[in-house]
Chain A
């Protein structure tokens, strides 16, 4: 497993290198955005830990350039910035997860494990529910003539909902599917991802398919009753 740490503070980068090397990862460090893009394009990297405030090119720019270059490796934003708008923007650009500094090392490790585990799993067949089609292999959803691209996490969440269409999927099941066990993702976190996912599934004027089941979780259903 090869990790790219994009972080401009040398001490922090070194600390992360030691932490992940102790877990058996091979760690590359990029101290600015341009370098992160170069490494991301040229090396076989399994996951990127990306700071937002990077010199030369900021983290958002790195995500955009890598995704434009069709590099699909999971990206985890690791930033001191915790404004909801920053997080949502990062996810829209194609980041897969976010962790704000300061973080608990074991949680960060669990989240990285979840990303790499999911990356290696393959679900080639398309899933259908009414007029909604999910293509897990390309992280795309199709509804009618409309196509929207999903992030890795959104893809995993929707896949679980579609596999259990009609049933209620609990929040803890969704969290485990999206981030893995022991990731300690809060329900507020899940909410952010679900909100982003729902806007992609249902555009204004379309029938609501994802329903909130109070106190339990979510359900993919065609009718409201």
Chain B
């Protein structure tokens, strides 16, 4: 079934009803007009018959078979000469007063008692005919008069032709007008739909603009806003809980770790206990990293990440991170290539520690998923208003089916990957850091060929004071 918009459906219904209404109106008007016009003709004929009767009464019928001069004049002056006077037996009382009357197919009038209207066609034209009994002295006569109806027919035709023109025109006009009006009336609904569609967990604090119209739309937006309010408080409670829980867990975790470390300081501890304490310390470290990552994301969610934005040079962050990465790369027998235009700077508006973290997450990822002997290539290219950071590796790559999910929280591609350290929060954090810096992070990858992460930063206008060492 085709689903039409409300305004289109309203227009279709409205037009159908209008069409039926206009049709009924046209038909009834047509019949009414026809009746009125015919009645008008009949009146004319009766009036003429009256005057003819008067004329005959003035003259007085004497049985003479010659028409009086007055009758001839009357016939030629009115009705195109379509007048005849018959005797009661149906024979002509006078010779025809005009040639038109001679050939006219007059109805039979023998023994006519009452006035009689009839219609007939002659030479392709419709006529209305009146036969009226008339008494002149001792003679019974019948007056016959005819008038063409062609004028009436033409008028009716013009009328129906007019209707056939105006009905579609009216229909189009009213349908488009109706469509426009209903679209306008329903426009706020579209606005509400768009606004609600743009709502997500990150902007639940926003509200729909309420139209002060006092109608259904106002009630709808108010109801939507109430629902958003309930959703917002529920979501905020969950986020706050995550932040509080990660935070509160740090104290006991710290206690466990320090206890184990203190126990390890005892030189006399047996090797079994030492091993157990070492494992406790290591696991505490892992748990703490997980907690920190969760806390970072929970803070990002509630928008309380407390970032200090200033002009920082991406090139400086890259040298920082590369310095830190070099020993790790060396230990894994990998090669780190850096294409960095030493003269160029890429000033971006950002939070230094966060940007450093973003770069480190991607770098660490590349190192982790590249085999010994592999190469990691890092480049920074500034062009126009963008600075593009690219980290490529020729490692194990990412399956195509995993690609859309790698920035999701706790997403681990597969079992073999879960053997590598980490919790699957790193890239989620990287994505968040990129987002708060209005940068775009993307990934291209092919299994067993390698991956390439690209971050495109908007370059800030201000140039930092900077010394470069050749």
Contact = CB atoms under 8 A, between A and B. Distances in A.
Identify the interface centre among A12, A19, A215: most chain B CB within 10 Å of its CB: A215
Contact of B255 (A15, A18, A106, A224): A15
Nearest to A217: B469
Contacts, number: 103
Interface string A208-223: 1001111110010100
Interface in B252-283: 253-255, 257-259, 261-262, 265
B262 A18 contact: yes
Given A80-B247, A83-B306, A103-B254, A212 B466 contact: yes
A80 B469 contact: no
A8 to B, nearest CB: 10
A22 interface: yes
A19 B258 contact: yes
A42 interface: no
Interface residues of A, number: 38
Interface string A173-200: 0000000000000011001100100000
A102 interface: yes
28 contacts: A19-B262, A22-B265, A80-B250, A80-B251, A84-B307, A84-B308, A84-B353, A101-B250, A102-B250, A102-B257, A103-B254, A105-B258, A105-B262, A106-B261, A187-B356, A188-B353, A188-B356, A188-B357, A195-B308, A211-B466, A212-B464, A214-B316, A214-B466, A214-B468, A215-B319, A215-B469, A224-B467, A225-B467
A103 B353 CA distance: 19
A11 B308 contact: no
Contact of B352 (A100, A101, A191, A219): A191
Interface of B: 247, 250-251, 253-255, 257-259, 261-262, 265, 284, 288, 292, 295, 299, 304, 306-308, 310, 313, 315-316, 319-320, 323-324, 352-353, 356-357, 464-469
A22 B323 contact: no
A215 B353 contact: no
A15 B306 contact: no
Nearest to B295: A82
Nearest to A225: B467
B352 A221 contact: no
Nearest to A104: B261
Contacts of A191: 352-353
Contact of A215 (B254, B255, B258, B323): B323
Given A15-B255, A191-B353, A213 B262 contact: no
Given A12-B254, A15-B255, A101-B250, A212 B265 contact: no
A101 B251 contact: yes
Contacts of B307: 84
Given A19-B258, A102-B288, A105-B258, A219 B467 contact: yes
